[in-house]
Amino acid sequence: MTIHVIGAGNWGTTLAKLFAGTNRVSLCTHSSEHAAEINIQRENQRYLPGIPLPGSLTAVALADAVFDADDVVVLAVPSRVLPEVSRQLRTAVVGLPLICATKGFQHASFKTMGQLVREMIPESPLIVLSGPNIARELASGLPSKAVLASHDLTALTRVARTLRNETLVFELSRDVDGVELCAALKGVIAVGVGIADGLALGDNMTALLMTYGLREFVEIAEFLEIRHKTIYGIAGLGDLITTCISPNSRNRRFGRLLGQGTGTKEALSQVGMVVEGVQMARTIVEMGDLNISIPLFTMIARAIFEEGIPLRDEFVNCLIHSR
């Protein structure tokens, strides 16, 4: 049995390293050149430098990967390419358990990443992985927890047993859509925290932002009928706190650049990775007609998509007058 981790960025490489402690792991890269680099150097110098990789992990170009009937597949590619990668994999992985470790929300279809994978490969049991997980911390051996969620109880228990490791401990859930929607929603608040940081508004205002942000987070989550256990669990509140306070959070880094006056396009370029909060913010804009009171989420969306607004004044006004 082999665990195939699709995507050799920092997150995919981290998961591959963790799972290779007790399993044979194939880390599938975009190119054969990158796979060769990893195998020779025994680390992913492009995306996770300084972290040695175990001998039970082998990198291979995705085009050369071979899947057997008892294998497990982990999808850890950027959200923007997940639909295309799923299409490419469809015939090769039919029937194999698919763990979607990619967070995000596709604005055009109003679907989570797991929903997109399920639509592309409906014959395979789907499990989503989410939680307060900063890749480099886990790769360095710092412990944390995550949630594995699936409607298929048999696949869920098998995958939980297969992925067991000493660093990342799993809770199990049946609330698949709730776990994914919480992961998408928290990115918007983290962008807001970054904006406050970039504007040098101080810790007091950041505390206000996280307080009112959590309230709106719950408001949206309840409207979407996400279970309270998920909202206040590690895939909801736990992931939200980590993403807001960690300097390694790409959502927070993106927001900080906005607060410092960098334009959206340039800020995304400087972060260099997908910022999930941006796609969810596009969806938030369209939720204005749903009679949900989310002034802070709306303000953060405006900061992302509207150029030239008096960001500091409007941000402060939104927070001070929230009730």
What CATH code is carried by the domain that includes residue 62?
3.40.50.720
Q: What's the Rg (C-alpha) of the chain?
A: 19
Q: Out of 182-191, 253-262, 285-294, 313-322, which region has the weakest mean confidence (pLDDT)?
A: 285-294
State mean pLDDT over 248-274: 93
pLDDT surpassing 70 at residue 162: yes
DSSP letter string over 73-133? EEE-S-TTTHHHHHHHHHHHHTTS-EEE----EETTTTEEHHHHHHHH-TTS-EEEEESS-
When the pLDDT of each residue in the chain is averaged and rounded to a whole number, the result is 94
pLDDT at 198: 96
Residues spanned by the domain of 124: 2-174
pLDDT at 321: 82
State mean pLDDT over 210-236: 92
State mean pLDDT over 209-218: 92
Is 17 a residue of the active site?
Answer: no
Domain stops at, among 174, 195, 223: 174
Shared domain for 230 and 190, answered yes or no, is yes
Question: Of 103, 145, 186, 229, which is the active-site residue?
Answer: 186
Shared domain for 156 and 15, answered yes or no, is yes
Domain stops at, among 140, 174, 208: 174
In angstroms, rounded to a whole number, what is the distance separating the alpha carbons of residues 228 and 130? 16
Helix (H, G, I), strand (E, B) or coil at 20: coil
State mean pLDDT over 290-309: 89
| Number of domains the chain contains | 2
Identity of the residue numbered 187: G
CA atoms within a 13 Å half-sphere pointing along the CA-CB vector of 218: 10
Largest CA distance in the chain: 58
Q: For residues 276 and 187, is the Cβ–Cβ distance under 8 A?
A: yes
Domain stops at, among 117, 149, 174: 174
Residues in contact with 25: Cβ distance below 8 Å, sequence separation at least 6, in sequence order = 2, 3, 4, 5, 16, 19, 56, 57, 58
pLDDT at 175: 97
pLDDT at 288: 66
Q: For residues 297 and 219, is the Cβ–Cβ distance under 8 A?
A: no
pLDDT at 85: 97
Shared domain for 164 and 30, answered yes or no, is yes
State mean pLDDT over 47-74: 97
pLDDT at 106: 87
Number of CB atoms found within 10 A of residue 100's CB: 29
In angstroms, rounded to a whole number, what is the distance separating the alpha carbons of residues 268 and 274? 8
